[in-house]
Amino acid sequence: IVKASGASMIQAGVYSGDLLIVDRSITPRNNDIVIASIFGDLTVKKIRKKEKSLFLISANEEYPSIEVKEEMECFIWGVVTYTIHETTSY
C-alpha cells in the first residue's frame, strides 16, 4: 500500500491522500498505472511503450510526462491495482 501525494494523476482518478494497492508481481502493460522509481524517488504514472521508447505519462496536463532514457536510474516498482479514496461527508 502506497499513499499518493500530489496532483499529477487526478484525471486518472488518483488524488493526493489516496491509498494505492500495488502488486509487485504483475508485469506492467501499456496504460497501466505504475509506481516507478526514478533516481530513488517514487512517482505514480501511466506507463506507455512506443516502439523502443518508454514513457511515464502524467494524467494532468500541468505535469510533464517523462521519457525514460537509458542513462536514467529507473525501474518499475509495481502496478497499481486498486485506489482507495477517503470519503467525505456533505
Which residues carry out catalysis? Answer: 8, 45
Cα separation of 71 and 31, whole Å?
23
Residue 2 — left, alpha, or beta (φ > 0 → left; ψ -120 to 50 → alpha)? beta
Backbone angles phi, psi at 75, to 5 degrees: -145, 155
